[in-house]
Structure 1
Amino acid sequence: MSIAKVRVGMIGYGLAGKVFHAPLLKANEGYEIVKVVTTREEEVEADLPEVEIAYSAEEIFEDYSIDLVIICTPTESHYSLTRAALQSGKHVVVEKPFVVTSAEAKDLIELAREEELILTVFQNRRWDADFLTLQECMSQGLLGEIHTYKAHFDRYRPEVKQRWKEHSLSGGGVLYDLGAHLIDQALTLFGIPLTVWADVQSQRAGSTAPDYFHIIFGYETGLRVELRAGSLVIQPGPKLEVHGLNGSFRKFGLDPQEEQLKAGMTPTSEKWGQEEVANFAEVTTIIDPLSGEQETFSIPSIAGNYDRFYDEVYDAVIDGAALPVHPTEALEVIHAIELAIKSSNEKRVIQWFDEVEY
């Protein structure tokens, strides 16, 4: 029995479009990629031979057969393209980060509401193996009440590459690129903080966009959330380090799905999303509170599943189900980035609700 198809138009075929969105869509029988706007014609012809190449976004917007538009372009163009897509009556998936400013995000959310259209953001690292595994440990109460959460996304890339992410000051740099992931994960786990403190810097010679950040979220309970990313880290520490009243969680290594997609694997491939045993998280818990006796053991990683995002988008388009990422959640990520920049520039702690209007 055939199922209803969601017809897709993609705008952009760089890393995000080629490595993430196109393979995930191809592996999902609920989608049909109809057109792609790109200058990389040979790559699209090789990867998606049945797909028509378009030469302007307007060709996508004016095609009445297209249900869903996926925006995979540089961040500074997200707002204008998403707005035009919504005005054309299309549902929209936007590559993260959502937009550059919270004002842009609010405008798009209101427009989508008025037009009764779906608007969501590809915050794919909610489906990383390490994040899913941590969520499961927390839901089981293995760690107890969390008081310290540290997440790193460090790399060693001493040379500034000639690409927009490393040169554009409008939506470029690691704060918008990697910070959007770490912030989204933290807000998903713990909600909106009371305070934001940040140090945002350009550490590499010739860097015109931030390549380092250190952010601390403060919560009423005393919880402290620490988020860091750097481009000059030769030997990374733990990706995640989480401490609760009953236990600690430490996790090294990156989720395998990006490298698997680059290697041509898909969600239908054997071992999709599965981590190596060497990268399993280490958990230490208190066995006897009186003596302080501890137990340390390895936790097998839950397999990552970026494909779940498009499963849930399909259900939202076809059946009106809940979105995998609500646009107001993506708005909060942009608010957090703005407050981090403000904190770093003014060298002070920012009160979230003094600066943000809902």
Structure 2
Amino acid sequence: MSMLFPFDYADVIFIRIFLVYAIITSVRLKHFVRLKVSFSPVKDIKGEAFYRTHVIIRHSYKKKKEPKQMADTIKGAVLGYGAAFNMGKAHANMMQNTDGIECVAICDIDPARTEAAKEDFPGVRTYNSVEELNADDGIDLIANVLPHSLHCGPTVASLKAGKHAIVEKPMCVTIAEATEMITTAKENDVMLSVHHNRRWDADFWTLRELVHSGVIGKVFSVEMWGGGYGRPNPDWWRSVKAISGGQFYDWGAHYLDWLLNIIETPMINVTGFYQPNLVWDDITNEDHVQAIVRFAGGEVVADGAAAYIQMSNIAKIGGERWKLLGSHGAITAEDSGFKVLSEVKGQPKEQQVGHHRRPGPTYYQNIVAHLNDGTPLLVTPESARRVIAIMDLAEKSAKTHQAETVPYEFES
């Protein structure tokens, strides 16, 4: 019996009534943590009831950490309005065409580009420096569409200024940069996401559903190929390694993001093989890159499964975009869909599966929902860091001639 908190059976009944009231109140208010409660027999309650009462009440009144709520429409801005691909304009248009967000500002170091932005979006505020953009208190979110080497620094500055941030793919260039961005977002209680827009491609989504259905059993081998034969434009920043990050960082970032959303088990290690300046000796990007990624096992993934990815500018014979081998079948890419070889009741079966679109919200619709009511992000910064890890470690492996262990994979 506790001498500090003595009570009898009537006290226990009162405590139980109070707890029921507290829990009901917490459910109604929605911002309290709910806790499953169990009671010991009354005869054993004397020395235990107060302790349980204390814990339950304390946790029942511990508020959940809510996302910052946006007042009215989210005020978005675009950092980078280069003419190539018009990605800055594309982001501004996506904001304008999504309920709950609008583009109110555009920033580019080139005054000619901000003048173009004014013509494209009359009434938009324009800036010619990141500092000016971050100082605008009327901006909630900034989408960074600058070249790859400028994804980390300016985004970190925006996060520190209290802005939510979107970064065009790839997230950055190195694992260290990605980690700095993630840490800064958490420290400043703001959102960070990466525009991996190809997660919405119909062929990827169809393939993902096929693999996750288990139609070919446990996947043990994945082959992916992209590129061709041709001299890159030496005057384009995407051909300059110091700015782009290298051959892997353009379309390769899409391929690797697809891979990691199909084979979702942790990566074990990465081995890289690079061919710089084998043919195009005036281009600083590699002519040909390839990586082997090994995975832990899972429900539809064999333990030790390997993915083999190649990106090339010197391949006169190409390969298949997708080829997957599983314990009970295989999948290969065709022009309008996939050829699926599988087994049904022990008998081989071949079928053609056409592409179909991903259901649900668009990228920016998800961003709005996340900022308004805490809907989970479809593209988290941690998932984007995994893409960077493969590219960063593949280059290191090509230099060390050793497989490189992937960090952060087995963290809870």
Q: If the length of structure 2 is used for normalisation, what is the TM-score?
A: 0.73
Question: Once the two structures are superposed, what CA deviation does each residue of 1:148-197 show, in whole Å capped at 9, x if it has no partner?
Answer: 11122224432434111111325432212233222222223323322211
The 1:80/1:18 distance shift into structure 2, 3 A limit, reads closer
Give the AA of the match of 1:281: F
Among 310, 319, 330, which residue is 1:237 paired with? 319
Offset from partner CA, 1:4-41 (integer Å, 9 cap, x none): 42111101023362464233223212221111112324
Post-superposition offset of 1:143: 1.7
1:10 to 75, 78, 81: 78
Local SS of the residue matching 1:194 = strand
After superposition, residues 83-162 of structure 1 pair within 5 angstroms as 83-162=156-235
Between the aligned partners of 1:279 and 1:153, the Cα distance in structure 2 is 17
Shift of 1:348: 2.4
- Which of 273, 292, 300 in structure 2 is aligned with 1:199? 273
Letter of the structure 2 residue corresponding to residue 9 of structure 1:
A
Provide the aligned C-alpha RMSD in A.
2.6
The residue type paired with residue 293 of structure 2 is F
- Indicate the SS of the match to 1:315: helix
Tell me, yes or no, if the aligned pair for 1:89 and 1:115 is still in contact at 8 Å.
Answer: yes
Gaps (5+ residues) in structure 1?
253-277
State the partner residue of 1:64: 137
User: Partners of 1:22 and 1:233 in 2: how far apart?
Assistant: 36
Q: Does 1:347 align with 2:404?
A: no
Distance 1:244 1:84, change over 3 A: same
In the alignment, the residues of structure 1 paired with residue 268 and residue 305 of structure 2 have an alpha-carbon distance, to the nearest angstrom, of 10
Q: Identity of aligned pairs, percent?
A: 28
For residue 285 of structure 1, what is the aligned residue in structure 2? 342
**Per-residue deviation at 1:355?**
11
1:321 aligns with 2:375: yes
Q: Which amino acid aligns with 1:73?
A: L
Distance 1:97 1:353, change over 3 A: closer
1:25 is aligned, of 85, 95, 109, to 95
Alpha carbons of 1:20 and 1:146: their partners in 2 closer, same or farther (altered >3 Å)? farther
Classify 1:211/1:25 alpha carbon distance in 2 versus 1 (closer, same or farther; 3 Å): farther
Q: CA deviation at 1:59?
A: 2.4
What is the alpha-carbon distance in structure 2 between the residues aligned to residue 138 and residue 179 of structure 1? 21
1:248 is aligned to 330
| SS of residue paired to 1:28 | coil
Structure 2 residue 386 is the aligned partner of structure 1 residue 332: yes
> Could you list the per-position Cα deviations for residues 23-69 of structure 1 after superposition, in whole angstroms to 9, with x for gaps in the alignment?
32232122211111123245424432342332222222111111100
Q: Which amino acid aligns with 1:157?
A: G
Q: 307-316 or 72-81, which moves further after superposition?
A: 307-316
* 2:307 counterpart of 1:210: no
2:236 corresponds to 1:174:
no
Are the aligned partners of 2:232 and 2:239 in contact in 1 as well (CA < 8 Å)?
Answer: no
Q: Secondary structure at the match of 1:70?
A: strand
Inter-partner Cα distance in structure 2 for 1:156 and 1:8: 40
CA distance in 1, matches of 2:72, 2:228: 42
Cα distance in 1, alignment partners of residues 316 and 176 from structure 2: 37
Contact 2:266 2:410 in 1 (8 A): no
Larger radius of gyration: 2
Distance 1:95 1:16 in 2: 12
Q: d(CA) in 1 for partners of 2:120 and 2:324? A: 41
Deviates more, 1:236-245 or 1:64-73: 236-245
Aligned to 2:4: none
Count of aligned pairs between the two proteins = 328
Q: TM-score, normalised by structure 1?
A: 0.83
Query: Structure 2: which 5+ runs fail to align?
Result: 1-70, 297-302
Residue 353 of structure 2 is aligned with which of 274, 299, 309? 299
1:172-231 CA-partner distances (Å, limit 9, x unpaired): 322122332222222233233222111122342311122421111123413111111112
> The residue matched to 1:69 in structure 2 has which SS?
strand
Between the aligned partners of 1:296 and 1:342, the Cα distance in structure 2 is 41
More relative contact order, 1 or 2 (CA 8 Å, 6+ apart): 1
